[in-house]
Structure 1
Amino acid sequence: MDTGFPKQKSEVMLVYDDKALYVAVIFHDTIPGKRIFESFRRDYVFNNNDNFLSIFDTFRDQTNGYTFEFSASGAISDGIRSGETKNSEWDSKVELKLKNYPDKWVTEMKIPFKSIRYPANSQTWYTNFGRLDLKANEKSAWAPVPRQFPHSSLAYTGVLHFEEPLPKPKMNFSLIPYLYGGYHRNFEAGEEAGYRRDFGMDAKIGLSTAMNLDLTYNPDFAQVEVDQQVMNIDRFELFYPEKRQFFLENSDLFANYGNEKLTPFFSRRIGLDAPVLGGARLSGKLNNTLRLGFINMTTEKTAEHAVRNYTVLSLQKKVLARSNISFMFVNKEYASKPAGVSQYNRVAALDFNLASKNNEWLGKAFYHRSFQPGNPDKQYAQGTSVRYSKGNILVSLDQAAVGENYL
C-alpha cells in the first residue's frame, strides 16, 4: 500500500536562526530488537539501514535539491539531487547528534545556511521527509509518494513555509592554498641531493545566491578520496565518479548529456595524463528557468603531451512542468599540433530531458555531433529513451546509434 498511516510513527520539528536550520526527529519504535544498520561510514547505502531522509528544493523548480540523510547508527549521507539522480560526492558541514532509547531513537541535525544555496528573501521551500524502517518492513513519508518512486522524488514534495524570510544569503568566499617541500637523495645511484617544492591554490567565490565561480591554480588532488577498485573484463572503459571538489557543484550541467555509456564530456579525463596548470569554472542559475555552466582548464606540457586547453559551455532551459532542453559545446585543443593526433576535437550536443509533473513519464532524446580536422562522415551519436511507471506497471524503451567516427 502507498496510502494510510505508518505503524511506526515519526515526529519532525524544525527551527531556525540566522545561521542554520535545525531538524529534530523522534522515531518511535514499538518492535523489540536491535535497530538495523550496517555502517558508520559517510554516504552509506540507503536501503540497507534504518534511516531518515530529508530533501529541500530551495528554488522550488522541482528539478534540483539537497538531500540530508542519516541512519540509526548516526552515519550521515548528503548530496545534490538533480532529476532522478543524486551526487553523493558533494559534502556539506551538516552536524548530527543521536540518542537511543528502548522505545525510540531521537536525532538533532544542524544544516548551516552557508552550505546550501537559496534565493534572497526566501520564505518558502519545497520539502519532504521519509523514513525507512527495515525491522518493520515499512517506509513512510510526510508528503505522500507513490510506492514506485523514492522518497527523494522532487515531483512529490510538500510546502515548507518559514514565519519570517530566511537570512540573506552571504556571498561566500573560500581560499585553500597549499605549499609543500621535500628533500630527496638516491644513495645507491650516487645522485646529488635534490629538493622538491610546489604551491597552488583553490578558490570558491559566490557571485550571487545562485551563481558560483571556482578557480584553481596548480591544484593538488592528492587529498581526494581514492576510487573503489573495479575489475574491468570487457573492452568498454569504466566511468568512475568525479570526486574532486572543483567539479562537484552543479555537476549535472556537464555530466547529464547522452546516456551512461555515451557522454560527450567526462571531467575525470582532465588531469588524468598531465597535471592541471589552472582553470576556472562558472556554474549556477541565471534565473529560475535558465542555468549556465562554463569550464576553461589548461594542462601542462609533458614528455607525451603538449599543452592542452579544455573549454566547455552548457546551457539548460526548463520547459513544461519539470522537463528541460540542454545544449553543450566541448572543445579540446592542443597548443601545437602533435604528431599522429588531431590538433582539436569538438562536440556539439543537444538533449531533451522529459519528466512529467507526476514523474510517471521519464525520457530523453539527444543528438551529438563531433568535429575534427578533415571532418569525416559519421561523426554523430543519437539516442532516445522513454519510461512509464505507474503502480505495478513499468515499461521502458531505449535506442541509441553511434557513427564510426564519433569523437
Structure 2
Amino acid sequence: MDEPAWQAADVATDFHMILPMDTSYANVRTDVRMVYDDQHIYLLVVNYNGVPGPYMVESLRRDFAFLKNDNFLLFMDPFDDQTNGYSFGANAAGAQWDGIMYDGGKVDLSWDNKWSSVVKNYPDKWIFEAVIPFKTIRYKKGISKWGINFGRNDLKTTEKSSWAPVPRQFPSASLAYTGALVWDVPPPDPGPNISVIPYLLGGVNKDYTTGKKAHYRGDGGVDAKIAVTSSLNLDLTINPDFSQVDVDKQVTNLDRFELFFPEKRQFFLENGDQFTNFGYSTIRPFFSRRIGLGVPILFGARLSGKLDKNWRMGLMNMQTDAESSQGLPAQNFTVAALQRRVFARSNVGLLFINKESINYQPSADKPVYSRYNRNLGMEYNLASSNNFWTGKALLLKSATPGKTGHDWVHAANLQYTSRVWNISWQHEYVGHNYNAEVGYVPRQGYIKLLPQVTRLFFPKAGAVLSHGPQVQLTNFFDEHMKRTDNELLLSYGIVFRKRNTLNVWTTNSYVRLLQPFDPTNTGKDSLATGTVHSWNTVGVDYVSRPQSLFTYSFSGRYGGYYADGTRLTLGGELGYRFQPYVSIALSTTYNDIRLPQPWGRNAFLLAGPRLDVTMTNTLFFTGFMQYNEQLKNMNLNTRLQWRYRPASDLFIVYTDNYLPAPLAIKTRALVIKLVYWLNI
C-alpha cells in the first residue's frame, strides 16, 4: 500500500449495509483503490475485521460459494447497460472468483480467463490485490463510463455490504444498482487478442462386465479464442474432450418425467446464456447436453458478444460424428440468437435452432432418428429500472417431419419483488406435438397456471432476521382444460440473524395419470392410465449457520403417495472444514415407500461422502463416492487439478463403478489431461 500509485489513487469507502438490513452504512470498513495502465486494471482492497478472530472460508477452491466465505467481489458493467458484465474477487484465504454476468445480476462461474491476484492476512485486516488485463474482458471501444460495484461478505458479523447501495431483496451483484466508474480517457484498445488452448490426453478404461481387454487411448485437440472486436468473441474447438468434468450428482428418481442434470462442459457454458436462458426451467428449447454425449464432437464454433450498447448476438455451430452401433448418423447443430435492448433494462430476443442428420438412411434393425428438428422462438424479458418488476413472455414453434399441428408453445410470467412482498403469476401452454430435440421439455400437451405469494416480516431485535408465509398453487390441465395435476403448497420460512434458516411446509397433491407409471421406478408393475391419486404431505427443512466449522442441514417429509400408499423421505448433509485446506461432507437421502402389492415396501438409500483438499489456490484434489440403492450402483470419482500457470491445468481423473452387493467392479477408467493457454 505504500507504493506511490496506491497513495495517489482515489479511495472508495463508506460501504452500505445490505444484510441484516439495508437502512444504514456498513459497520465493517472496506477501502477500495483502482488504477490502470495501457494493458491492465489494478485493484487494491483493504478488508478490515469487524470483530476479532480468524477469517472464515470453505477452502482455497476457485469460484467458491459467496455466502459461505469471507470475501470481496468486484462487479463491472463495461457496457453500462445494467444487464451484462464481469465479476472478479477472492475469499480471505486467496481463492479466486471470476465469472461473466448476465440477466442483470447473475454470475456464470464457468467462465475462466487469465488474471492474477494475491491475498495477505494481518491481525486487523486482510488485503486483496489483483491485476486484470484489458484483453481478459470485453468492452465497447471508446466508452468512458462503466457501471461498477464492490461487494463484501463478512461472516463473523453476518454483514453483507456494497459500495453502491443495493436493496436487501436483491443480490449484491444486481447491475441495476451499480455506481459509476468514470475514465479520464476511454480505456485503451487492447489490440490483437487471440488465445490458443491445446490439450493432450492419455487414458485407459476397462469394462469388467464384458470381459474385454482394457482400452487405451491417446488424444489431442485445440480451442481458440479470437476477439473479432473489443466486444465480440469467436470461440473455436476441434475434437474437444471433457473427461475432467465432474460426474453428475445422483438422485433417487421418483418422478414421472425426465430429470434435469445441468451442463458442466465449459465450452457450452461460456457466454452461453443467450441460448440457455431462453424459456423456463421446464421449457428449454436449447439444452446443450443434447450435443455430444455418447458421440464424439468433431468441431464447433461460437460467435458471441455485444454489437453495441443495445444489440447482442450469439451464433453456434457444432458437428458430431456418427455412431454405427446405434445407427446414429452424423449430425449438425446450429443455434442463432439475437437480442435487442428496449426501455431501461428489458430486451427482446429471437432464437433459431436447427438439428440436421447428415446423409441419413434409416436402418430396419436400428433406432430411427428424425431427419431434422427445428425451433424458432421469440421472447420479451421485462426488467424494470429498479428491478422490482420482472417477467417474461415467450412464443415457440417447432418443425419435425411427421409432427404438425399443436406444435407450439406460449408462456408468460410476471413477478413483483419488494422488501416485504414477492408476488408472481406464471402460465404455460405446450402443445402435444411440440418437439425440442435439442432442448429440455419433459412434458407436452398441457396448460399450467402457477400463482405465488410470499410476505416477509422483520423484527426490530432478537435472533430472527425475517420470517413469513408463502402460498403457491400449481395447476396442470390437458389441452381441453381438464385437470390432470394440482398441488397446493403452504410454507412458513424463518431466516435467523446468524444466517441459519428453517422452513416448514405442507402440500395437498392430486394426480390423474396420463400414462402408465411405476411409482418405485424400478421396473415393477405400473399404475394404469387415468387412475386418480391424491394425498397430503408435511415437511421441514433446516440449514445451519455457514460460519461454523461444522455445518449441517436436514430435511424430512412424510405423507401419502400413489395408490393410497405412504412415503417417508429423510435427507441431510454433514460438513466439517479444516480451513482453508480440507473440507469433508456427507450427504444422504433415505426414502421409505409403502404401497399395496405388487410393490410392497421399497426402501432406497442414497449416500455420498465427499473430500476436498486444496493444498494451495492452484492445487486441488476432490474425491467422492455415490451409493445409489435404487440403481444398484456405487460410483467412485477422484480428480487432481494443478493450475501450473493462469488458465493452464493438469488433470488426473480416476473413476470406478461397482455393484454394491456383492461388491464387484463394473468399470474402471484413468485419464491424464494437460491443457495449456497461449496468448498470441
Q: TM class by shorter-chain length?
A: over 0.9
Q: Which moved more, 1:244-253 or 1:394-403?
A: 244-253
The residue that corresponds to 1:105 in the other structure is 126
Q: Given that residues 382 and 389 in structure 2 are in contact (C-alpha distance below 8 angstroms), is that contact kept between their aligned partners in structure 1?
A: yes
Considering fraction of residues, name the structure with more strand: 2
How far residue 199 of structure 1 moved from its aligned partner, in angstroms, is 4.3
Q: Which moved more, 1:353-362 or 1:195-204?
A: 195-204
How far residue 3 of structure 1 moved from its aligned partner, in angstroms, is 2.7
The residue that corresponds to 1:5 in the other structure is 25
Q: Are 1:203 and 2:224 matched, yes or no?
A: yes
- Residues 360, 68 of structure 1: alpha-carbon distance in 2 compared, 3 angstrom cutoff: same
Aligned residue type for 2:323: T
The residue that corresponds to 2:377 in the other structure is 349
The residue that corresponds to 1:309 in the other structure is 332
2: CA distance, partners of 1:22 / 1:276: 39
The residue that corresponds to 1:269 in the other structure is 290
- Residues 343, 14 of structure 1: alpha-carbon distance in 2 compared, 3 angstrom cutoff: same
1:331-350 superposed matches below 5 A: 331-335=354-358, 336-339=360-363, 340-350=368-378
1: CA distance, partners of 2:91 / 2:429: 42
Q: Given that residues 171 and 209 in structure 1 are in contact (C-alpha distance below 8 angstroms), is that contact kept between their aligned partners in structure 2?
A: no
The equivalent position to 1:214 in structure 2, one of 218, 235, 243, is: 235
Q: Are 1:405 and 2:429 matched, yes or no?
A: no
TM-score (ref. length: structure 2): 0.56
The residue that corresponds to 2:193 in the other structure is 172
Deviation by residue 1:262-313 (Cα, 9 ceiling, x = unmatched):
1001112211121111222111122221111111111111112111111111
The residue that corresponds to 2:76 in the other structure is 56
Q: Are 1:22 and 2:45 matched, yes or no?
A: no
Q: Given that residues 145 and 183 in structure 2 are in contact (C-alpha distance below 8 angstroms), is that contact kept between their aligned partners in structure 1?
A: yes
Deviation by residue 1:142-201 (Cα, 9 ceiling, x = unmatched):
11111111110000001111233322122311223445678999xxx9x99998665432
**1:268 alignment partner, SS class:** helix
Deviation by residue 1:360-397 (Cα, 9 ceiling, x = unmatched):
00111101111111332221222111111112121122
Deviation by residue 1:187-224 (Cα, 9 ceiling, x = unmatched):
xx9x999986654322221111111112222223334x
The residue that corresponds to 2:179 in the other structure is 158
- Residues 51, 396 of structure 1: alpha-carbon distance in 2 compared, 3 angstrom cutoff: same
Aligned residue type for 1:378: H
**1:246 alignment partner, SS class:** helix
- Residues 115, 242 of structure 1: alpha-carbon distance in 2 compared, 3 angstrom cutoff: farther
Q: Given that residues 306 and 338 in structure 1 are in contact (C-alpha distance below 8 angstroms), is that contact kept between their aligned partners in structure 2?
A: no
User: C-alpha root-mean-square deviation of aligned residues, in Å?
Assistant: 2.5
The residue that corresponds to 2:92 in the other structure is 72
Deviation by residue 1:10-29 (Cα, 9 ceiling, x = unmatched):
10011111222111111121
**1:155 alignment partner, SS class:** helix
2: CA distance, partners of 1:256 / 1:329: 14
Aligned residue type for 1:338: P
Q: Are 1:41 and 2:61 matched, yes or no?
A: yes
1: CA distance, partners of 2:333 / 2:400: 15
Q: Given that residues 149 and 164 in structure 2 are in contact (C-alpha distance below 8 angstroms), is that contact kept between their aligned partners in structure 1?
A: yes
Q: Given that residues 407 and 433 in structure 2 are in contact (C-alpha distance below 8 angstroms), is that contact kept between their aligned partners in structure 1?
A: yes
2: CA distance, partners of 1:74 / 1:9: 19
2: CA distance, partners of 1:218 / 1:96: 32
- Residues 166, 195 of structure 1: alpha-carbon distance in 2 compared, 3 angstrom cutoff: same
- Residues 302, 28 of structure 1: alpha-carbon distance in 2 compared, 3 angstrom cutoff: same
Q: Given that residues 176 and 203 in structure 1 are in contact (C-alpha distance below 8 angstroms), is that contact kept between their aligned partners in structure 2?
A: yes
Q: Are 1:258 and 2:279 matched, yes or no?
A: yes
1: CA distance, partners of 2:318 / 2:126: 48
- Residues 195, 37 of structure 1: alpha-carbon distance in 2 compared, 3 angstrom cutoff: closer
CA radius of gyration, larger in: 2
- Residues 170, 242 of structure 1: alpha-carbon distance in 2 compared, 3 angstrom cutoff: farther
Aligned residue type for 1:64: N
Aligned residue type for 2:22: D
- Residues 167, 379 of structure 1: alpha-carbon distance in 2 compared, 3 angstrom cutoff: same
- Residues 7, 199 of structure 1: alpha-carbon distance in 2 compared, 3 angstrom cutoff: closer
Q: Given that residues 90 and 128 in structure 2 are in contact (C-alpha distance below 8 angstroms), is that contact kept between their aligned partners in structure 1?
A: no
Q: Which moved more, 1:249-258 or 1:32-41?
A: 32-41
The residue that corresponds to 2:408 in the other structure is 380
- Residues 85, 241 of structure 1: alpha-carbon distance in 2 compared, 3 angstrom cutoff: farther
- Residues 69, 301 of structure 1: alpha-carbon distance in 2 compared, 3 angstrom cutoff: same
> Identity percentage over the alignment?
49
2: CA distance, partners of 1:8 / 1:214: 42
The equivalent position to 2:304 in structure 1, one of 269, 283, 296, is: 283
How far residue 242 of structure 1 moved from its aligned partner, in angstroms, is 3.3
- Residues 131, 194 of structure 1: alpha-carbon distance in 2 compared, 3 angstrom cutoff: closer
**2:64 alignment partner, SS class:** coil
Q: Given that residues 20 and 113 in structure 1 are in contact (C-alpha distance below 8 angstroms), is that contact kept between their aligned partners in structure 2?
A: yes
Aligned residue type for 1:334: S
How far residue 132 of structure 1 moved from its aligned partner, in angstroms, is 1.4
- Residues 195, 91 of structure 1: alpha-carbon distance in 2 compared, 3 angstrom cutoff: closer
Aligned residue type for 1:70: A
2: CA distance, partners of 1:142 / 1:46: 17
2: CA distance, partners of 1:159 / 1:67: 15
Q: Given that residues 232 and 238 in structure 1 are in contact (C-alpha distance below 8 angstroms), is that contact kept between their aligned partners in structure 2?
A: no
The residue that corresponds to 2:160 in the other structure is 139
- Residues 3, 33 of structure 1: alpha-carbon distance in 2 compared, 3 angstrom cutoff: same
The residue that corresponds to 1:322 in the other structure is 345
Aligned residue type for 1:275: P
How far residue 325 of structure 1 moved from its aligned partner, in angstroms, is 0.7
**2:307 alignment partner, SS class:** strand
The residue that corresponds to 2:419 in the other structure is 391
